[in-house]
Structure 1
Amino acid sequence: MLGDMVTLDGKPASVDDLLPLALTNVGHFTSMRVDTDGSIRGLSLHMERLARDCKIVWNAALNTDRVREYVRLALEGQTRPCVARVTVYDPKIDMGHPADANEPHVLVSVRGAGALPPAPLRAQSLVYERDLPQVKHIGLFGALQARGTAQRAGFDDALFVGRNGFVSEGGTWNVAFIDHDGTVVWPDAPVLPGVTMALLQQQAEHRIATITLEQAKGMAAAFATNTSIGVRPLAAIDDTEFPIEHPVLAQLQKAYLLIAGETL
C-alpha cells in the first residue's frame, strides 16, 4: 500500500489502483491551496470545475459533498499550508473501450505549498495548443514537454501561442497582462477557466481581448496565476523584460491574499 498521502475514495491507494493512471492517463483534476487555517480560496469554484469536467470526461455526475469529505480525511495531520490535488478517474478504464468507463473515483494527494508569491517567472513563447483546453485534464505530456523545452533553453516555463498567433496560457497557469492604462487584460483564447483567474477578475478592472505575441511583449507588465502561485510576476517573455514591481501587480497580490477562504 502507498502512504496516507495518496488516498482513493478515502482509503490508502494501492499500486494496482494507480496503474490505470500510468497506463491510460485519462482523467481530470483540480489542485487547491489549503492555507494555515484550513481554508481554501475558491473552494466552491474548484468543486464546480470537478463536477463540470466529470460530466465532460466521464458523462457522469460527481458527488462533490463526498469529494469534500475525502479531502478532509486526506488533510488530517498534514502540515499547512499545503496543496491538495483531487484527481477523478475510473480505475476500470480499458484502452480499447474508454466509453465503457463511467464510474469515476476520487484520488486525493497532498504536497507542501511554497510561499506566495513565488519568484518571478521567465517564459519562452512556444506554439502549442492543449487538447480540450476547457478541461483541467491529466493529459500533461504536451504541456510538460513544452516546459522542458523552455527550461533547456534557460527559461522557467513555456508561454503558449496558438497556431493563429494569439497568446493563450502557460503550461499549468493562466496568463494576464497589464496595459499602459493600468487595466488587466486576459487573453481571449481557448484556455483553462482558472479558479484563481476567476477570483482575480472579481477584484480588478479588466478586459478580455485577443493578444498577439508582439502585443504581449508591448504590455506594461505581465503575470501568471494558479492556485499554487497566486499572482506571480513575469520577468520576461523571450528576450523582452518586464518590471516585476508594478502598482497593479501589487494591488492584485494584496487583493488575492485578502480573499476569504472557504472551509471544507
Structure 2
Amino acid sequence: MATLDEKPATADDVLPLALTNYGHFTSMRVDADRTIRGLTLHMERLARDCKIVYGVDLDTGRVRGHVSEALDGQAGPCVVRVTIYDPAVEMGHPADAENPSVLVTVRPAGKLPPAPLRAKSVQYERDLPHVKHCGLFGALHARRAAQLAGAEDALFVGRDGLVSEGGTWNAAFVDGNGAVVWPQAPVLPGVTMALLRQHATGIEHRTATVTVDQAKAMAAAFATNTSIGVRALSAIDDTELSTQNPTLAALRDAYLSIPGETL
C-alpha cells in the first residue's frame, strides 16, 4: 500500500523518486494499539532533514494525518515508512525541488526480538550520515558483499578504521563492565538509540571510538532501529559474540517498556 499526499500513489508519481533517489524518510514501528515509540522524535527527524534536503519547513501535523489515514484498516503491528520527496525533481535541476510531498507506505512488522544477526565488517561511509536519506545504493552494496561472504549484514568501518553503524541500523557494544558503548563516528542519530539512552537509565551509556578489533573483543554487540528494537549480534566477521549478555536483556526490556505515542 502506498499513498502520496493521501491519494493512491501511481507509478508515474514515484518514477521521479526511482530515477533520482533524491529524498529523505523515516520508518516507524506501529504497535497493534496504533501507538508509536518515539513518534515525536520521528517527526523532529523529518522536519530537520526536510530543512537540510529541501530548505523548507515541513508540516509534521500534515504528516501525522497522512500516516493516520494510511493506517485505517491495518491489523496487527506494522512498519510505516514516510518518504519526503518532490515529484517535480529533475536530475539536472535539483535546486528547483522545493515543494516536497509525503509518500506513505505500510508493511507488516516482524516479531520482537528478532533472531541474532551475523555481521561482516565492510569499509563504507555514508553520504550525509546525519540525514536519513534515500541514497541507499552504497549501504545495500555493502550489505550484498556481506551476504555473499556468508554474513547477514554489513558493519560499516570508515577509512580511519573506526566502526560507525550498520546497513540500516545503529551499532553499539557492551563492554566488560556492562556499559553500553556507542561508536564515536559519523552516524545517523537513531530514534531507537535516543530512546534507549533516555529510558535505559540503570545502564551506563558512553560514546567512544571503536576499532574492529575492539568491537570483536567486547562482551556483546547489538543493532538498533525502529523495526528490530534491540537485536543482538552473534558474530562480527569470524568472531562469535555472546547473545545472552544481561545488559542486552535489560536494554530489550527497557525498550519494550517505553510507552507509545498516539497519532
What range describes the TM-score normalised by the shorter chain of this pair? over 0.9
Within the alignment, does 1:170 sit opposite 2:166 as a pair? yes
Aligned match of 2:239: 240
Aligned match of 1:50: 46
Aligned match of 1:118: 114
Give the Cα separation in 2 of the matches to 1:145 and 1:216: 22
Q: After TM superposition, list the pairs within 5 Å mapping 1:34-183 onto structure 2.
A: 34-183=30-179
Q: Match of 1:95, SS?
A: coil
TM-score normalized by the length of structure 1 = 0.98
Aligned match of 1:10: 6
CA-to-aligned-CA distance 1:145-195 (integer Å, 9 cap, x gap): 110111111100000000001000001000000000110000000000000
Displacement after TM superposition at 1:41 (Å): 0.2
Give the Cα separation in 2 of the matches to 1:50 and 1:205: 29
Aligned match of 1:22: 18
Aligned match of 2:186: 190
Higher mean C-alpha displacement, 202-211 vs 53-62: 202-211
Give the Cα separation in 2 of the matches to 1:95 and 1:20: 9
Displacement after TM superposition at 1:123 (Å): 0.2
Aligned match of 1:221: 220
- The share of aligned pairs that are identical, in percent, is 72
Q: Match of 1:30, SS?
A: strand
Within the alignment, does 1:199 sit opposite 2:195 as a pair? yes
Give the AA of the match of 1:172.
Answer: T
Aligned partner of 2:28 among 26, 32, 35: 32
Aligned match of 2:261: 262
Displacement after TM superposition at 1:205 (Å): 1.7
Displacement after TM superposition at 1:222 (Å): 0.3
Give the Cα separation in 2 of the matches to 1:248 and 1:23: 44
Give the AA of the match of 1:242.
Answer: L
Q: Where does the alignment leave 5 or more consecutive residues of structure 1 unmatched? A: none
Give the Cα separation in 2 of the matches to 1:66 and 1:205: 38
Displacement after TM superposition at 1:223 (Å): 0.2
Give the Cα separation in 2 of the matches to 1:189 and 1:135: 14
Give the Cα separation in 2 of the matches to 1:160 and 1:80: 33
Aligned length: 260
Displacement after TM superposition at 1:102 (Å): 0.5
Within the alignment, does 1:212 sit opposite 2:211 as a pair? yes
CA-to-aligned-CA distance 1:179-219 (integer Å, 9 cap, x gap): 00110000000000000000011113200001111111110
Q: Where does the alignment leave 5 or more consecutive residues of structure 2 unmatched? A: none
Runs (4 or more) in structure 1 with deviation over 6 Å come to none
TM-score normalized by the length of structure 2 = 0.98
Give the Cα separation in 1 of the matches to 2:11 and 2:53: 23
Displacement after TM superposition at 1:79 (Å): 1.8
Give the Cα separation in 1 of the matches to 2:205 and 2:241: 19
RMSD: 0.5
